[in-house]
Structure 1
Amino acid sequence: MKTIEDIFNIIKKTINLKDDFIEYEIRLSNGTFERDHLINIYNIRKGIAIRQENHKRTEQIQHLLNGLENYSEKFLKVADISNNNYFTMFYLSQDWNRVIGYLENDINDGTGI
């Protein structure tokens, strides 16, 4: 079983996190999330972002959808990483070995996830 710090380091290879492990609050999912269900949810959220003309959010969701659609397994795990100004939801392979996609959010920009 991977430790929270192991998972953080896998995530850090995918996205440029500015601080060390101890600077973030990290939550890992206990359960799994079904890939097809997530694709449906994020297609709806993408449609909402398009109607709101939120181009940044639309692009982020499309990037996540690409990762989900290219992932061949049925289930994923989720990790949330946050600190005072930052929150990101990461979808990882069921064995926690690689990041499939993520949605990044600057808490001060008000776009929400």
Structure 2
Amino acid sequence: LYSVPSFWLGLLLIITLSVGIGPIPGMFPTGGMESGDTEGFDRVLDIAHHLVLPVVTLVAVEYARTLLVMRSSLLDEMGSDYLTTARAKGLRDDLVRRRHAVPNAMLPTVTLL
């Protein structure tokens, strides 16, 4: 999803979830910020209903970018000498990854935030 343009993913979500495909009806509005004459809490719910697809689109693209950076950093860390030393001392692989590799691999990911 990282290489997919966000506008294309948004259009795909609108086509599938707003317009509907075949016998499946659309569940979300195709455009606009709100439907019309609503007041109070119903207006808040209406605006939230209109924001579902844009939020899902942006979260999916950003989440994919974060996962890609985390995976790349973790693969770089897995060949480090201190991890080989931890394995030689007898630590299990899952502990080596969780306690030694992941905290160091998270540094570039946290920088993105």
Bin of the TM-score, shorter chain as denominator length: under 0.3
| Structure number with larger C-alpha Rg | 2
More strand by share: 1
More helix by share: 2
Normalization by structure 2: what TM-score?
Answer: 0.26
The structure with higher relative contact order (CA 8 Å, sep 6+) is: 1
